[in-house]
Amino acid sequence: MSPSAWYDLFLFLLLFALYVYVFATVRITNLHKVYFLFHFFMMLWPLCQFAIDLTDDPRLQLFDVTMSFVALSMLGSGWLLLTVFLTGNADKLGKKRLFLLFAPAVIAAVGVIMNPFNLFVAPLGGGYVDRAYGTWFWMVIVILLSYFFASLSVLFGALNSSKTSPMIKKQVKITLWGIFVLATFASIDALLNVVLRESLPIIPGLTSLGIFLSALFFVYVIKKYNVFDLVSIAHEDVINTIPYGILVLDENESIIEVNKALRLFIDLNVGDYFDMETFLGSVRVEGSSKKFLSHYKQKENTLSQIEIIAQRDIERHFILQASPIVDSYPMQIGHIITFQDVSQERFFVKEMNRQNEILQERNHSLDRIRNELSTANRKLEELVLTDSLTNCYNRRYLTQQLTHEVITNIQYKIPFSLILFDIDYFKAINDRYGHVIGDEVLYRTAQAVKQSIRGTDILARYGGEEFMIYLPHTERQLAEQLAERVRLAVESNHILVDHEIEQVSITVSVGGLSIEDFDHEHVPDNPEGYLIQLFAAVDKALYQAKQNGRNRIEFADFQNVSFAKMK
């Protein structure tokens, strides 16, 4: 084996290491899968070039040569596809354009595989270690050059477009370097090792080296700018429509999001470190920066704000607001910082004191807008945890709450109960009055139950016409009383139907479960699994209530649900 063959193997291993690095450090989306396929073809070239020298069998050598050029053919279409995604033009790719994009590469690959009349490659000296390329080889080169120039056209079009964001332009510039590097090394390889092979010694690994260097450029773009993260793309579309500057920091004060409005007056990028104290030192501050920084650094869920004056092209005033991002425990995991441009308001305050009342009203309007934004954010959080039809909590919230509280209740031996009730013959209501009235029945039932339970109890829509109530600090005797109160509240809740003279009266079947005996029980290792057992037990009690005639209450036997089973 030629020592130079090991050079291709070394480059393959480097490409494989890049492949593993990207796979291990990014969130896998469909677009990343496209990139992994593209990267696979990049790895295939140096691997096959190395494999050619591993065998003396001409058939195996031909197979390795064929696979390496099939991979090279697909690389051209892969580059063009990735540049389209990179420049934000993916929405223009319909089925017809995708077919036209891949058709030349597929045709080139088919010709390489078939090799009719040795038009692609012919052996020299009885094997393919030394080989002669034919007409189809140059056809493949022409196709690759076509992909190269098409990619350049897309990239330069993005650079020259006023609609392209500065972030994408930075990505495009780096990608251009990668394309030029690959094209340069591949061209040198074709020139020295194909055109001038009779007069110059063979220089191995040039195309492999070009592929590896171009892969470095592209991996850098992926990691630096999160190119293919679908969640980031969708989130960026939303956040960039907001007129206020928004900066999102993680717990280490690294920037994980910055919108277009903020980039208009501050040059910040994702991945940069943002030090609030240093930033405030670079601008004029109206008010106490020490007090603001003190609130900012506290591990509490409090909103802090201050006014700053920044000088760039002109003097601009901003209301800077900082609020912590907390998880469900709650633990602080970052900050959201907003920059509200109030330069115009401050200008009128300074220049037209006689219009002070008007300006004050504008400031009040801004305050109302901020409150509305805060309210909207709270409502968005509630939408995730509540059922939109009944305004009760949803099953997801109930499960999260119980998963946390079950451990606490068992650890400190705090009794609790669950009540699961189901509207009797609800399908008949839907069939008779329609789903609109059925939805109204669900809503009115939920409201009646809310008024009959305690403020500490949690009512959640369990699914369909089923609802579950979590009763903290509640033993069985009290739970039975509360269950009866719920049953009576629903039974006495008559719902007027608009197009019917009579009122709709419904009943519910109730299943209950109380956990109050902790003498021989232990904290479960698997609270989620234990919670499933609790749900199954209370569901069985509900089924028993239905079997026994409906509009009644049945409680599950506590002994049938054992903590020990979860060990």
Segment 328-339 shows an average pLDDT of 77
**Residue range 469-513, pLDDT digits in tens:** 999 999 999 999 999 999 999 999 988 776 656 788 899 999 999
- Model confidence at 301, pLDDT cuts 50, 70, 90, reads low
Q: Specify whether the CB–CB gap between 304 and 321 falls below 8 A.
A: yes
**Residue range 430-439, pLDDT digits in tens:** 998 889 889 9
Report whether pLDDT(235) > 60. Answer: no
Q: Which residue has the higher pLDDT, 483 or 58?
A: 483
- Model confidence at 520, pLDDT cuts 50, 70, 90, reads low
Task: Set out the domains of the chain in order of their start, with CATH numbers.
Answer: 5-233 (1.20.1070), 241-341 (3.30.450.20), 393-566 (3.30.70.270)
Tokens encoding 285: 């501050």
Q: Is 482 exposed, middle or buried (0-12, 13-18, 19+ CB in 10 A)?
A: buried
Output b/e per residue, 521-537; b: 16+ Cβ within 10 A: eebbeebeebbebbbeb
Rounded distance between C-alpha atoms, residue 567 and residue 562, angstroms: 10
Q: Specify whether the CB–CB gap between 313 and 221 falls below 8 A.
A: no
Report whether pLDDT(34) > 70. Answer: no
Q: Specify whether the CB–CB gap between 303 and 322 falls below 8 A.
A: yes
Q: What is the pLDDT of residue 198?
A: 66
Name, of 50-54, 224-228, 240-244, 540-544, the range with top average pLDDT.
540-544
**What are the CA-CA distances from residue 239 to residues 168, 234, 259, 303, 341 (Å)?**
16, 9, 6, 20, 16
**What are the CA-CA distances from residue 458 to residues 36, 401, 468 (Å)?**
47, 9, 8
Of residues 64, 32, 20, 62, the one with CA closest to residue 46: 64
When mean pLDDT is compared across 67-76, 412-421, 483-492, the lowest value belongs to 67-76
Those residues whose C-beta lies under 8 Å from the C-beta of residue 100, and which sit 6 or more positions away, are: none
Segment 460-465 shows an average pLDDT of 94
Q: What is the pLDDT of residue 32?
A: 65
Report whether pLDDT(445) > 60. Answer: yes
Question: Around Cβ 271, how many Cβ atoms within 10 Å?
Answer: 12
Segment 216-237 shows an average pLDDT of 62
Report whether pLDDT(390) > 80. Answer: yes
Q: What is the pLDDT of residue 499?
A: 62
Helix (H) or strand (E) holding 246: strand 245-250
Q: What is the pLDDT of residue 565?
A: 44
Q: What is the pLDDT of residue 123?
A: 85
Name, of 14-23, 117-126, 329-338, 350-359, the range with top average pLDDT.
117-126
Question: Around Cβ 3, how many Cβ atoms within 10 Å?
Answer: 8
**Residue range 92-127, pLDDT digits in tens:** 777 888 888 889 989 988 998 898 888 888 888 777
Q: Among the residues of 282-355, which ranges form H helices?
A: 289-297, 343-351
Report whether pLDDT(450) > 50. Answer: yes
Helix, strand, or coil (residue 67): helix
**Residue range 165-176, pLDDT digits in tens:** 666 777 777 777
Q: Tell me how far apart the terminal alpha carbons of the chain are, to the nearest angstrom.
A: 60
Q: What is the pLDDT of residue 567?
A: 40
Q: What is the pLDDT of residue 471?
A: 96
- Model confidence at 238, pLDDT cuts 50, 70, 90, reads low
Segment 527-542 shows an average pLDDT of 92
Q: What is the pLDDT of residue 501?
A: 61
Report whether pLDDT(293) > 80. Answer: yes
Instruction: Find tokens 């076509």 and name the residue.
Output: 146
Q: What is the pLDDT of residue 182?
A: 73
Q: Among the residues of 130-267, which ranges form H helices?
A: 135-160, 166-190, 206-225, 230-239, 260-263
- Model confidence at 193, pLDDT cuts 50, 70, 90, reads low
Name, of 25-39, 111-125, 345-359, the range with top average pLDDT.
111-125
Angle at 186 between CA 184 and CA 189, to 5 degrees: 110
Rounded distance between C-alpha atoms, residue 63 and residue 21, angstroms: 29
**Residue range 358-376, pLDDT digits in tens:** 777 777 888 888 888 887 7
The rounded Cα 398 to chain-centroid distance in angstroms is 24
Tokens encoding 240: 């960039």
The mean pLDDT of the chain is 81
Report whether pLDDT(226) > 70. Answer: no
Q: What is the pLDDT of residue 26?
A: 66
Q: Specify whether the CB–CB gap between 557 and 539 falls below 8 A.
A: no
Q: What is the pLDDT of residue 92?
A: 76
Report whether pLDDT(46) > 90. Answer: no
- Model confidence at 336, pLDDT cuts 50, 70, 90, reads confident
